[in-house]
Amino acid sequence: MTVLCPALFLSAPASGQGKTTITAGLSRYFKNQGKTVRVFKTGPDYLDPQILAQASGEAVEPLDLWMAGENDCKHKLYEAAKVADLILIEGAMGMFDGDPSSADLAATFGIPIAIVMDVKGMAQTAAALASGLANFRNDYQVAGLIVNNCGSERHSQLIRDALPESLPLIAALPRNPEVTLPERHLGLVQAAEIRDELEQCIERAAVWIKDAGLTELPAPVAFEPTEIPQPKKLLQDRQIGIAKDEAFSFIYDANIELLEAMGAECHYFSPIHDSYLPEVDALWFPGGYPELHATKLAENDSMAIAIREFFEADKTILAECGGFLYTMETLTDLEGNIYPMLGLMQGHGAMRGRSGCQGMQTAVLPEGDVRAHAHHRSRSESTPEPIGHGRRQRHPAPGEAIYRERGLTATYLHLFFPSNAEAVASMFSAQD
């Protein structure tokens, strides 16, 4: 049965235009009005969803046509529409960046786009750019323009007068440094690290949204149901330990949901704070910021011993990105300090500032292909020969290296488990 729900897709000409701040402000404003707001983030992202989840009070999931597939996205939107008063989707990078892009996602599901633009240093040119974005293709609908960092009422009037009648100025948000979200080398700071400060920032953003007149719900959008097959119980009673703390937190809810749907029991532990592992059959070290907590990781000898014993027993371990750095011999932080890590495999990891790698890739594993992405600001060296490489989405060059040492699978790639449940189950159910 078709479900109607107000929905808006916030996109922009580029990153850094204020999409996350505005989406968070809208979420909190309508939440404060007693509305249930469900927010989604386009593409692979672990940091923005943390901010948006705190703002909306609801879990925030990624929508990605390549990584998750159209049916998965359609199902998530439909389930959200059944319970929400408002659906907001934050785009990634620029409106047409990536393949598929934010525009592709909005067009696929008929969700109107609000173009968000930082207009510092321009006036009528903003109208020209917005008009170009609105008319670049004819398969999506643009609701209008939201300008950010506006200097004055005169500034906003110049933009409004230059816009065509078909492209209204939805709102002009004034410059306000008090709503700026803090960032670090991979993007925004994790919500858990600055929860109280972030809460104040989000509340200020809600007032900012209200004062700019963004108080009306967008038009309803029709969402259609779709059939999603239930996964087989391929991990029945399998106990999986998942590292989760300040250093390791880049975890898709969809990955956990799949493991549990396949019958696994998930147990969380902290490589920073705990002194022993839970009684489990397999371990998963997701990505995160081990470089920011390298001292504590290096000093937790009892945990390191427990993990090494687990590895030497040939038990299954998956280590992704930050988890991959943790499994090597040493890790060098941005200041050049070198810390001993687990030493499960040869190699040394080192941070490298703003230079890094990102992009969509398929992890080519012995168990099968799993869709994934890379996003890191570090390098690895002196590593053993990989068993293979990621396959880039649209480039012939080899992607990220994939290593396998005994029961350990380690790579910079972040895997999206639902893209190949059988392969993931096979990896986590390998014989001990």
Annotated catalytic, 321? yes
Q: Which residues make beta-bridge pairs with 272? A: none
Residue from 150, 201, 321, 357 carrying the catalytic annotation: 321
Tell me the C-alpha to C-alpha distance, in Å, between residue 344 and each of 14, 293, 400: 40, 19, 19
Cα distance between the two ends of the chain? 46
Residue 165 CB burial class (10 angstroms; 0-12, 13-18, ≥19): exposed
Q: Which two tokens stand for residue 221?
A: 């959008």
User: Residue 149 belongs to what H/E stretch?
Assistant: strand 142-150
Q: 3-state class of 77 per DSSP?
A: helix
Write out the H or E segment, with its range, that includes residue 199.
helix 195-211
Helix (H, G, I), strand (E, B) or coil at 306: helix
DSSP track, 95-163? TT-SSS-HHHHHHHHTPPEEEEEE-TT-SHHHHHHHHHHHHS-SSS-EEEEEEEEE--HHHHHHHHHHS
Q: Which residue do the tokens 């110049």 mark?
A: 158
Catalytic annotation, residues: 321
